[in-house]
């Protein structure tokens, strides 16, 4: 059971988004929320204070007063008019994570909402009601979050028990009554960073899985291609103040299971083998940075205006997701380099010119077969797409007659990050397949026990014949195997412990 009190961790997000862990709001959070709610009621009853989004219009309409009789309808109008994003719906796990993140931010108790609103989010999560949330055109979270808010009130569309239904039908199916928004609650449901924070939290978890797998795949490639393992020596990293680099180097030393002391020969391997710790370690560093950003955001109020229990209100920029957007872009950048170094190793694995017993492209019958030639084309193409995706958080747009003239672009940045993760996952899958095929064909010294265990484990889970075959399904299956943690499962059967 995940309890909402304004604090969450990435592990909590994963538990609810992917494992359907139940949620509830704490009694202390209920007390704080009610005090903030009472402050809003006083504002509404006074007719003397004008507070943005409570009894005024939004954006460039901020100076337009709204009569008391229209306040409830205004909140419903807000979510209906803002539900304007387009395209394919977000995945169920993203929607569940976003609902959790928004409910938790509201539970901090400075958004002026009733506890009933947070309890409605919890009810939908626990009953498996998942709003359909298109993400296209949502530069920040307003439009996408509005599609979630619609379902709270029985509008919009939601998936329940595997079927897409109208919001009212979905709620009725699980015996949940639609919520009617009170003043401030429609705006509070869509303000903030729930979508982008949810997406970055999920991406951080997956990126951590990916970089550990990359260490193993890189070690496999080095074992088949490399010579000077002293590049991973502990002594090398003892004089460099980059702990994440040292972690990757330590993983690879353990996986190789051989001495990394200086050899008598001064041969230098290609950079894509020699700088594995530096590239992989940099990914680790930026995962750690992004984790800090997300876990700070998971414990932060993200709304405008903020309504404190003592009645003070603040019009502010607490809804802005620049920190999330920038962290997502930075992580995208280093993950692109992770794909780049993997693609370079793949090219070397397919090169048979310097080997007596491995033909080019790892073919069994050269000429009659093409082997894994086109798999490397795919890796190169995916890498090109990753490079094109580029940074988005350094751009912006101007809307609402210039009143809203800077945007974080965080929803776009985190969507791009998710797409890029999938591409890099497939690039690494192609490298892994090439190591498996090369290990099958070569008579070079055997792999370490731990690396051979990985080869054997993955081979058992995929259909990968030595002769030419359609590769798309094989690549997809291998990519899924990587993200499902199969490589870590295989390593767990050995004496090696990956950091």
* Rounded Cα–Cα distance for residues 8 and 104 (Å): 7
Give 165's DSSP letter.
Answer: E
One domain, residues 139 and 224: no
CATH number, position 230: 1.20.200.10
Range of the domain at 237: 200-491
Note whether residue 436 is domain-resident.
Answer: yes
Do 183 and 218 belong together in one domain?
no
Report d(CA 274, CA 268) in Å as an integer: 8
**Would 336 be classed as within a structural domain?**
yes
CB hemisphere CA count around 334 (13 angstroms) = 24
Of 153, 171, 191, the residue that ends a domain is 191
User: Over 50: is that where the pLDDT of 230 sits?
Assistant: yes
Same domain? For 172 and 254 the reply is no
3-class DSSP state of 499: coil
Contact of 358 with 224, CB cutoff 8 Å: no
| For residue 190, cis peptide bond before it (omega within 30 degrees of 0) | no
Q: Let me know if residue 167 belongs to a domain.
A: yes
Instruction: Encode 324-360: b = buried (16+ Cβ within 10 Å), e = exposed.
Output: bbbbbbbbbbbbbbbbbbbbbbbebbbebeebeebbe
Q: Any idea how long the chain is?
A: 499
If one compares 197 and 400, the residue with the highest pLDDT of the two is 197
Q: What is the DSSP string of 74-93?
A: HHHHHHHHH---EEEEPPHH
53: left (phi over 0), alpha (psi -120 to 50) or beta: left
pLDDT score recorded for residue 226: 87
Q: Provide the CATH number for the domain around residue 69.
A: 1.10.275.10
Q: Give the tens place of pLDDT for each residue, 439-491.
A: 888 867 788 999 999 999 998 888 887 777 889 999 999 999 999 999 988 88
| pLDDT tens sequence across 344-371 | 999 999 987 666 678 788 788 888 777 7
Q: Which of 191, 208, 237 is the last residue of a domain?
A: 191
Question: Is residue 144 in some structural domain?
Answer: yes
Return contacts of 238-242, CB within 8 angstroms, 24+ apart.
Answer: 242/278, 242/281, 242/285
Residue 57 domain flag = yes
**pLDDT recorded at residue 405:** 47
* 170/208 same-domain check: no
52 and 187 both lie in a single domain: yes
Instruction: Count the domains in the chain.
Output: 2
Same domain (yes/no): 210, 178:
no
Residue 160's DSSP bridge partners are: 163
Domain ends where: 191, 210, 230?
191
Q: Are residues 178 and 314 in the same domain?
A: no
Gyration radius (Cα) of the chain, Å: 26
- Could you count the other beta carbons within 10 Å of the beta carbon of residue 401? 10
- Computed over every residue of the chain, the mean pLDDT equals 90
Which pTM does this prediction carry? Answer: 0.94
Report the pLDDT value the prediction gives residue 395, as an integer from 0 to 100: 59
């Amino acid at each position: 059971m995940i309890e909402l009190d304004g604090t969450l961790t990435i592990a909590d997000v994963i538990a609810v988004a992917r494992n359907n862990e139940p949620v509830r709001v704490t009694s202390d959070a209920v007390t704080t929320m009610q005090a903030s709610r009472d402050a809003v009621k006083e504002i509404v009853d006074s007719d003397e204070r004008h507070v943005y989004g409570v009894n005024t219009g939004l954006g460039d309409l901020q100076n337009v007063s709204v009569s008391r009789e229209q306040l409830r309808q205004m909140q419903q109008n807000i979510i209906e008019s803002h539900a304007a994003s387009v395209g394919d719906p977000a995945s169920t796990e993203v929607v569940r994570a976003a609902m959790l993140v928004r409910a938790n931010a509201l539970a901090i108790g400075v958004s002026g909402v009733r506890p009933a609103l947070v309890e409605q989010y919890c009810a939908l999560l626990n009953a498996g009601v998942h709003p359909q949330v298109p993400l296209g055109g949502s530069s920040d979270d307003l439009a996408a979050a509005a599609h979630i808010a619609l379902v709270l009130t029985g509008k919009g569309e939601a998936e329940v028990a595997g079927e897409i239904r109208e919001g009212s039908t979905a709620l009725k199916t699980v015996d949940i009554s639609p919520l009617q928004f009170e003043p401030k609650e429609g705006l509070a449901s869509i303000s903030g960073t729930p979508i982008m924070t949810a997406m970055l939290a999920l991406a951080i978890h997956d990126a951590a899985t990916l970089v550990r797998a990359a260490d193993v795949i890189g070690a496999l490639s080095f074992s088949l291609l490399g010579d000077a393992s002293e590049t991973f020596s502990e002594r090398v990293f003892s004089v460099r103040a980059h702990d994440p680099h040292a972690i990757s180097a330590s993983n690879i030393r353990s996986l190789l299971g051989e001495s990394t002391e200086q050899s008598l020969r001064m041969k230098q391997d290609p950079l894509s083998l020699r700088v594995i710790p530096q590239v992989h370690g940099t990914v680790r560093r930026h995962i750690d940075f992004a984790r800090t950003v997300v876990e700070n955001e998971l414990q932060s109020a993200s709304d405008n205006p903020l309504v404190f229990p003592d009645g003070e209100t603040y019009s502010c920029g607490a809804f802005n997701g620049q920190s999330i957007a920038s962290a997502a872009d930075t992580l995208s950048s280093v993950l692109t380099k992770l794909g780049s170094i993997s693609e370079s190793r793949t090219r070397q694995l397919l090169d048979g010119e310097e080997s007596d017993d491995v033909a080019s492209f790892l073919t069994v019958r050269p000429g009659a077969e093409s082997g894994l030639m086109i798999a490397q084309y795919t890796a190169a193409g995916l890498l090109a797409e990753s490079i094109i995706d580029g940074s988005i958080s350094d751009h912006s747009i101007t809307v609402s007659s210039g009143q809203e003239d800077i945007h974080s672009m965080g929803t776009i940045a985190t969507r791009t990050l998710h797409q890029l993760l999938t591409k890099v996952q497939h690039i690494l899958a192609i490298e892994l397949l090439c190591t498996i095929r090369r290990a099958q064909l070569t008579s070079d010294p055997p792999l370490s026990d731990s690396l051979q265990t990985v080869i054997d484990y993955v081979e058992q889970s995929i259909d990968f014949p030595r002769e030419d075959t359609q590769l798309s399904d094989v690549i997809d299956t291998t990519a899924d195997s990587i993200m499902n943690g199969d490589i870590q499962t295989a390593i767990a059967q050995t004496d090696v412990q990956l950091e």
